[in-house]
Chains A and B, each alone.
Chain A
Amino acid sequence: MVFPVLECFHILGFILLLGSIALVDFHLLAGLMRDQASAQLARDAAPWTLIGLALVITSGSLLFASDPDHYYLNSAFQFKMAILLLAIAFHYTIHGRAARPGASPGSGRLAACLSLALWSGVIGGGIFIGFVNGPQ
Chain B
Amino acid sequence: MQPVLRFAQWLQYTDWAAALRYSGTVYPLVLTLHMIGLGFFGGMILFTNLRLLGWSLKRLPISKVIAALRVPKHIGITIVATCGILMASSKAEEYYYNLFFWAKMSLLGLIIVHGFAFRRSVYRSPQEPVPSQAKLAGALSSLLWIGVMICGRGIGYIEPPLEKLHAMVSSPLSLWLTRLCAWL
Contacts and interface: CB of A to CB of B under 8 A. Distances in A.
A44 B57 CA distance: 6
A19 B68 contact: no
A128 B28 CA distance: 6
Nearest to A131: B28
B43 A15 contact: yes
A22 B79 CA distance: 15
B149 A123 contact: no
B157 interface: yes
B43 A4 contact: no
Contacts of A25: 40
Interface string A29-71: 0001100100000001000100000000000000000000000
A81 interface: no
B44 A22 contact: yes
Contacts, number: 81
Interface residues of A, number: 32
Nearest to A17: B39
Interface in A10-29: 11-12, 14-23, 25-26
Interface string B22-45: 001001110110011011111110
Nearest to B24: A131
A18 B42 CA distance: 9
Interface residues of B, number: 30
A119 interface: yes
A123 B46 contact: no
A106 to B, nearest CB: 22
A48 B68 CA distance: 19
Contacts of A4: 153-154, 157
Contact of B50 (A17, A26, A48): A48
Given A19-B43, A19-B44, A119-B39, 7 more contacts: A8-B153, A21-B43, A33-B68, A44-B57, A127-B28, A127-B32, A131-B27
Contacts of B44: 19, 22-23
Contacts of A15: 38-39, 42-43, 46, 149
A25 B60 CA distance: 19
A123 B41 CA distance: 14
B32 A123 contact: yes
A124 interface: yes
B129 interface: no
